[in-house]
A and B are shown apart, each in its own frame.
Chain A
Amino acid sequence: MTIPDDDSTKRKRWTHLRRVLERAGPFKDPNFEPSTELLSGIESVRILIIGAGGLGCELLKDMALMGFCRIDIIDMDTIDLANLNRQFLFTKTDIGKSKAEIAAKFIMNRIPNCNVTPHMNKIQDFDASFYSQFRIIVCGLDSIVARRWINSMLVSMLQYDENNQVVPTSIIPLIDGGTEGFKGNARVIMHGYTSCIECTLDLFPPQVNFPQCTIANNPRLPEHCVEWVTSILWPKEKPFGPGVNIDGDSVEHIQWIVEHATKRANEHNITGINFRFTQGVVKRIIPAVASTNAVIASICATEVFKLATSSVLLMNNYTMFNDIEGIYMLTYPPEKREDCPICSNVPVRVQINETAKFQELVDQLIEKYQLIAPLICTQIDGQSKTLYMTSTQQMLELTKPHLRMTLQELGLTNGIEMLVGDPARASSMRVIISLTSSMETTTAK
């Protein structure tokens, strides 16, 4: 069924939101001014949802039903049979199709005024000009790499004033949700003010890795036997031909692994290997719980609503949720790390004459920042370039000639950002080149 688009439905539909937006109250943001215009504000604000999986489906549904009408959603994945129990915007006939596209279609069909633009892409396919279109970004991801990527992208888009303070208007708030079985977390990240993904990287559970020697020689768990087959026997026997990697969704592949893992388990008096278990180990499946996704998505959606309307103070700023035994929740602000290599890494600007040789730039950096043996690299037109490296003999020989070249010859134009690592510093610096024309310097002298 679709929501009817007549006036009385419309009025009734927003009754509850209007109570929040059109009345003052003791729990409101002190700066909040109730207004009848805020409701239409929700319609116009552009939101980006990253991920159209378990959390993404919930998020999209929550936002759309709340009245957000300009939503973009990114997901590179296609729909799989195993998704259908919790990714409720998809049905059996959608298997193999793009998650983002089907989710968008479903929502637009169901909620007429809502405009959802799907992107079947990796987040890395887009650059700053894409992300800067959005007021708020919400993530429902299952990958640390993707979180770190969008985190550093948003940091790189910040602007700083002359006191190196983040210009508030350059912040795009990031709401990040994550779930694993019965556990989940939701957080609000305002770069420059709160901790970021990189500040709290240690909070992520470590990858389970068994010692290779245990796998090779002393298996004690059924997992060890499966890992032995996938990491040692498979590359040796190449059961499905050379160059064929294990496909966790291929019944034949898993069956082959089950057969050989069972053999090895029997030799070591280990039990517990079957198809389901083996597939779980091969694909590193952590069972997803639909209710956890619903809880976390609703927390995230509430924060998006608060950000879009400024009606209520934001969650400060990290909520963890666990309902394995009873329900446990805690909200606290993890500290922003003063030495965070991403969000505390404010780029510094060096001024240098446009006709200068690279040597002068290196000398200036060494003197100004007390460097010992800087390693300098950059990206020019998307190509990585190592400009200077002295810590190995080969690189010293290859990059020393750069010193005699001019900045122009090296392609170092105004505004180019370089990375500078040095043994004397705890983390790499970001350095932006600011070229001065030779005229200016002469007159200054």
Chain B
Amino acid sequence: MLNIFSIKQSRSGDGASSDGGTKKTSAALLRVTKDLSELGTLPPTCQVTYPNKDDLLHFTLTITPDDGFYKGGRFIFSFTIESEYPHTPPKVKCTQKIYHPNIDLEGNVCLNILREDWKPVLTILSVILGMGFLFSEPNPDDPLNKEAAEVLKTNVNTFRSNVTKTMAGGTLSGVQFDRVLSR
């Protein structure tokens, strides 16, 4: 192992700071820089934009599904990467009130890799792809909006028409939804 004695001798009395340019780089940013460089492989249905280009830790994901129940919609999510990243997953919220079995009316998202199945080997890219998957394959067995899940399970056609109605800003069971049509 290292000979500490030499360290002690040469360090004693040098209170000066090491060369001027030193500053720390946050471990989260170090990792995020790598993650974000991979976003070029995203499908055209998922778009990432930054409200502030110099703040890489906050961004917006826009999903425009090209098939399935939600085709024609434009869904917007906010992503926040905290300093614990990648020890903890990014925080994701839907910014609109939408009708979806796995997203509640407050915008909370039920996606396993965002909570109990998060692992530091997963990346921003894997989360975004998972989010896209929620719109091509909404999962009624794992619901956050129980009523929507029930309808999807029992009557697909009603579910389809509910989705179409709510995406246009309609009201369902007394709840007014946001208009999320892309045109």
Q: Point out residues on A near B: beta carbons under 8 Å.
A: 31-32, 41, 127-129, 132-133, 135, 144-145, 148-149, 151-153, 156-157, 159, 168-171, 173, 190, 193, 198, 201-202, 204, 207, 209-213, 216-217, 231-232, 235-236, 307-308, 310, 313-314, 316, 341-342, 345, 373-375, 377, 379, 383-386, 389-395, 398-399, 415-417, 419-423, 425-428, 430, 432
Residues of B within 8 A of A (CB): 1-8, 10-11, 15-27, 29-42, 47-50, 53-56, 83-84, 87-88, 102, 104, 106, 108-110, 112, 115-116, 118, 120, 142-144, 146
**A307, B5: Cα distance in complex, Å:** 8
When the two chains form their complex, are residues A394 and B50 in contact, meaning their CB atoms are under 8 A apart?
yes
Beyond A310-B8, A416-B21, 8 additional pairs, beta carbon < 8 A = A148-B27, A152-B27, A157-B18, A159-B19, A213-B143, A216-B110, A375-B37, A419-B25
Shortest CB-to-CB span from B23 to chain A, Å, is: 6
A135 touches B8 (CB 8 A): yes
The chain B residue sitting closest to A419, CB to CB, is B33
Say whether B34 contacts A427, CB under 8 Å: yes
Top 4 nearest A-B pairs (CB, nearest first) are A421-B33, A415-B21, A129-B17, A391-B39
Given A212-B144, A421-B34, the answer on whether A127 and B23 have CB atoms closer than 8 Å is: yes
Instruction: Give complex CA distance A403, B167 in Å.
Output: 42
B5, B15, B23: which contacts A379 (Cβ < 8 A)?
Answer: B23
Instruction: Give B21's nearest chain A residue, CB to CB.
Output: A415
- CB pair B110–A213 under 8 Å, yes or no, is yes
Q: Is the interface of B mostly helix, strand, loop or mixed?
A: loop
Query: In the complex, A96→B83 CA distance in Å?
Result: 28
Considering only CB atoms, which chain B residue lies closest to A129 in the complex? B17
A212: chain B residues within 8 A (beta carbon) = 108-110, 115, 144
List B contacts of A204 (CB < 8 A): 87
Contact B108 A156 (CB under 8 A): no
In the complex, the answer to whether B36 meets A375 with C-beta atoms within 8 Å is: yes
Is the Cβ of A236 less than 8 Å from the Cβ of B10?
no
Contacts A135-B11, A212-B110, A341-B27 given; indicate if A384 touches B55 (C-beta within 8 A).
Answer: yes
Q: How far is the CB of B79 from chain A (nearest CB, A)?
A: 12
* Distance between Cα atoms of A310 and B6 in the complex (Å): 10
> Which single member of A153, A157, A395 contacts B50 (CB below 8 Å)?
A395
By a CB distance below 8 angstroms, the chain A residues around B116 are 209-211
> Is there an interface contact between B31 and A428, defined as CB atoms closer than 8 Å?
yes
Contact B53 A314 (CB under 8 A): no
Task: Indicate if the CB atoms of A391 and B38 lie closer than 8 Å.
Answer: yes
Choose among B7, B19, B50, B115 the residue with the greatest number of A CB atoms under 10 Å from its CB. B7
